[in-house]
Amino acid sequence: MKIAIVHYHLRSSGVARVIELACQALSGGGIQVAVLAGEIPENSKIPELVPTACLPELDYARGHSQDSKKLRYDLEKTARRLLGGAPDIWHLHNHSLGKNPALPVALASWVQNGAAILFQIHDFAENRRPKNYLTLRKAYGEKLNKLLYPCMPRIGYAVLNSRDKKILKSAGFPGKIFSLPNPAVPLATSSKPISPFAGIESLVLYPCRAIRRKNIGEALLLSCNFSRGKSLAIALPPSSLEDLVLYEQWKILAASCRLPVQFEACSQRNILLGDLVRDAEYLVTTSMEEGFGMAFLEAWLSDKPLMGRNLPKITTDFRAKGLILDSLYDFCGVPVSCIGKTILERSLFHQWAERYAAYGVRLDQSTRDKLFTRAVREDRVDFGQLGFDLQRKLVCLASESLIVAKEISPALPALPDPATIRHNRQVVAQRYSLEEYRHRLLQIYQDLFLSNYESITYGDSAAILQGFLAL
């Protein structure tokens, strides 16, 4: 079977890592794989695994002025050259994200001709990515619903979790939906120990790139409760300009409040994330939104405890596979009196209205009430629901008084014991292995390849958007 994997780029990212692991998993057994991408950095390991080709017109584009016919022709020609014939399966990652609006048009003729296609969706433009969504809307207007999500038996959609699958089904999605959780493998480490951080006896690691949805303010709040000698380390800075602006403000706040926080712990010291994980006491996560939630898996493979915020719509799948995640909290309750009810309501309603307006959707009273009920429990509001200004004030208050810090921080569960860590490591190693990933991928490929061509229908992007806005 010949598989052509397509993505915008192979720069360091979660998707590029998944493609690399897929190439490892699919090696041998009569499977031919080729990867086509808009950019292939020199440090990418994928060219060592499978034939690859760089097609610059595949990379991110701001408009749809690119020649979609040429893009399709180049994809077909290059795939044939690398595979020695036409692909049996086209496997595309994040085709609907709006990063290159020419791509959905380029694929349209494959759909019409009955090609077997797997669309693997890691991120939805409809989920907290309004700029991407509006790029698609601007490019195609009402035609978008007859373009973005084509459906027939030879086309499948692979999603990362049951939340995304449920949203698609609730939106009346007419196509095949497959569950395809990411594989998890141990992080690479070096043989040498990292040099200790000055004056730090114990390191608590947040192994993330500090983008907005990682909820960095809450991690700083947790650090206000640390005993002397313990420090929070945040692994990597964000890469986008928009996220960097907020990130720099958090760095300024941490310095002014003298918080025990080490920013850019990996990049500034030029060390592997795996080395930092190895030397940490435990790992923490305060993220408010995840596509897959690798942070809930990787700690166990490194024999490290995990502490932090639970994301039930993500962790439900992990618990169903057998993971014990009792060291996570569901709510970081701040007394409303610390903020003031009027100020709180005004702030929350404003940011929710902005989120909806960014998609061109009006926030109605019923939806506003539901969001408020989720954010506020009795006389406490979830810290993660607050905007930057309110979070900043609360972190400053917590840094000045341990009593205040304990009052506005979550009640932290106990860290997992060694038996739980061993159990979780075994679950992850078995249920999220490369072998399991290969088995699932081949099942999906076979299903699509052996299916018959039928009439084409389309998923409703507007209905999918409503599903994500309701989260």
Phi, psi (degrees; rounded to nearest 5) at 399: -70, -20
Q: Can you read off the two tokens belonging to residue 224?
A: 């206000």
Q: Please report the pLDDT score of residue 429 as a whole number.
A: 98
160-208 tens-digit pLDDT = 999 999 999 999 999 999 999 999 999 999 987 777 677 789 999 999 9
Fold match, 2-183+433-469 / 202-429: yes
CATH numeric code, 2-183+433-469: 3.40.50.2000
Please choose, from the candidates 97, 89, 96, the residue with its C-alpha nearest in 3D space to the C-alpha of residue 114.
89
Are 36 and 452 in contact, with CB atoms under 8 Å apart?
no
Are 192 and 168 in contact, with CB atoms under 8 Å apart?
no
Helical packing angle, 461-469 and 162-170, nearest 10°: 130
Q: Please report the pLDDT score of residue 65 as a whole number.
A: 55
Pick the CATH number of 202-429 from 3.30.420.10, 3.40.50.150, 3.40.50.2000, 3.60.15.10: 3.40.50.2000
292-351 tens-digit pLDDT = 999 999 999 999 999 999 999 999 999 999 999 999 999 999 999 999 999 999 999 999
**Measured between alpha carbons, how far is residue 91 from residues 19, 79, 119, 445 in Å?**
10, 12, 6, 9
Q: Please report the pLDDT score of residue 63 as a whole number.
A: 52
Q: Please report the pLDDT score of residue 197 as a whole number.
A: 78
Q: Digits of tens for pLDDT over the chain (471 positions)?
A: 999 999 999 999 999 999 999 999 999 889 999 999 999 999 999 999 999 999 999 999 855 557 899 999 999 999 999 999 999 999 999 999 999 999 999 999 999 999 999 999 999 999 999 999 999 999 999 899 999 999 999 999 999 999 999 999 999 999 999 999 999 999 999 987 777 677 789 999 999 999 999 999 999 999 999 999 999 999 999 988 999 999 999 999 999 999 999 999 998 888 899 999 999 999 999 999 999 999 999 999 999 999 999 999 999 999 999 999 999 999 999 999 999 999 999 999 999 999 999 999 999 999 999 999 999 999 999 999 999 999 999 999 999 999 999 999 998 999 999 999 999 999 999 999 999 999 999 999 999 999 999 999 999 999 999 999 988
Q: Can you read off the two tokens belonging to residue 73?
A: 């022709």
Please choose, from the candidates 287, 288, 286, 397, the residue with its C-alpha nearest in 3D space to the C-alpha of residue 339.
397
DSSP conformational letter for 214: G
Each domain of the chain, given as residue ranges in start order, spans 2-183+433-469, 202-429
Give dist(CA 225, CA 405) in Å, integer: 6
Give dist(CA 440, CA 445) in Å, integer: 9
Q: Please report the pLDDT score of residue 62 as a whole number.
A: 55
Q: Please report the pLDDT score of residue 209 as a whole number.
A: 95
Phi, psi (degrees; rounded to nearest 5) at 193: -70, 150
Q: What is the DSSP string of 329-388?
A: ES--EEEGGGT-HHHHHHHHHHHHHHHHHTTT----HHHHHHHHHHHEETTEEEGGGS-H
Q: Tell me how far apart the 2 most distant CA atoms of the chain are, in Å.
A: 68
